[in-house]
Structure 1
Amino acid sequence: MEKAREFLEKYTTGEAADEVSRLSLPPHRPLDESSFYECFGGRGVRLDLLHSDFITCSFRVPPRLLGGDGNLTMGAISTLVDLLGAAVAYQGDDSWNVSADMSISYISPAKLDDELEILARCLGRRGGYSGTHVLIRNKITGAVVAEGRHSLFDARSNL
């Protein structure tokens, strides 16, 4: 717990806190432009196949998404599940999906330059809710890196 406190204090006090407070990120307009979050976490994802119920993608693990242990971070994996789950649930210009729930199993590590294949599929839709499944595996070894389920709600469905 002490390490967590030291880490957080670094960004909430002193010079680092001043730098963080001066950050100015423009508001994100969904569907019009990428957010910092999408650009940082999703940059490098290549669409291989797009179908009405599933998407297949490829992704080579870049240095920017590695943790101190040399593995793809859990945050980067959750970003991929979030982005690709939302992409496969997207239904057109009038939908505005927000994450309602996400569950991810982290199964095996992915290292720098590992080529990953990602399959995102829509499990179903009911009312304003969509359920998706995202499977991330190492393209060479076939080992499952992570498996995620992502539930989304179309916030405009009740407007």
Structure 2
Amino acid sequence: MAEQEQQEGHRSKDREVEVGAMTTEWQLEPGVASKLFDVFTVAGLRVDAIEPGRAMICSFTVPPRLTDASKRMHGGALASLVDLVGSAVFFAGGSPATGVSLEITISYLKAARANEEIEIDARVLGIGATTGCVTVEVRKKATGEVLAHGRHTKYLAVSSKL
């Protein structure tokens, strides 16, 4: 029993060293960690259409790395897509910046599965002097069935000292 505990302790310590080394490596260059996150989350995202001034439609095949044990897309991964595509559509709406999120709400209706193609449809509701709001709908590409509906409000006044 003591030998087994000792082996598990070594494995745990080895894992800590491995994770620690990876973390240190990614922290050496400013901004690299966020680039890793973006690539991990949205690698494979394709922009299908941009309607200047108001909308953007993207396609995405759900990779197994973004699914849970039951092979359904993880809610956090879907939230990241709503955040990133919702932010990008501000450019289509004419905003010079993507701003800072004030509120993101997501209604999860159904789950996408690993290797299933989904469509992300982001539309500008309005862009004012300091804030803007978009909606993001996520659907199964094959059937049009709505998987999630999000709303993203952002503070856009980048010159502010807030």
TM-score per shorter chain, which class? 0.7 to 0.9
Aligned residues of 1:89 and 1:152 also touching (Cα < 8 A): no
TM-score between both structures, scaled by the size of structure 1: 0.79
Residue 121 of structure 1: SS of its match in structure 2? Answer: strand
Matched, 1:27 2:46: no
Which structure shows the higher helix fraction?
Answer: 2
Q: Output the CA distance in 2 between the equivalents of 1:84 and 1:68.
A: 26
1:103-114 to structure 2, matched below 5 A, reads 103-114=105-116
Give the Cα–Cα distance (whole angstroms) in 1 for the partners of residues 155 and 30 of structure 2. Answer: 21
- The equivalent of 1:145 in structure 2 is 147
User: 1:38, 1:108 → 2: CA distance?
Assistant: 24
Report 1:88-99 matches (<5 A): 88-90=89-91, 91-92=95-96, 95=97, 97-99=99-101
- TM-score with structure 2 length normalisation? 0.78
User: Number of paired residues?
Assistant: 141
Q: Please say if residues 131 and 157 of structure 2, whose CA atoms lie closer than 8 Å, have aligned partners that are also in contact.
A: no
Distance 1:121 1:136 in 2: 12
**In the aligned structure 2, how far is the partner of 1:20 from the partner of 1:124?**
43
RMSD: 2.0
CA contact (8 A) 2:108 2:149 kept: yes
Q: SS at 1:142's partner residue?
A: coil
Return closer, same or farther for 1:21/1:107 CA change in 2, 3 Å cut-off.
same
What runs of 5+ residues in structure 1 fail to find an aligned partner? 1-12
- Aligned with 2:65: secondary structure? helix
- In the alignment, which residue of structure 2 is the partner of 1:54? 55
1:14 Cα deviation (Å)?
4.8
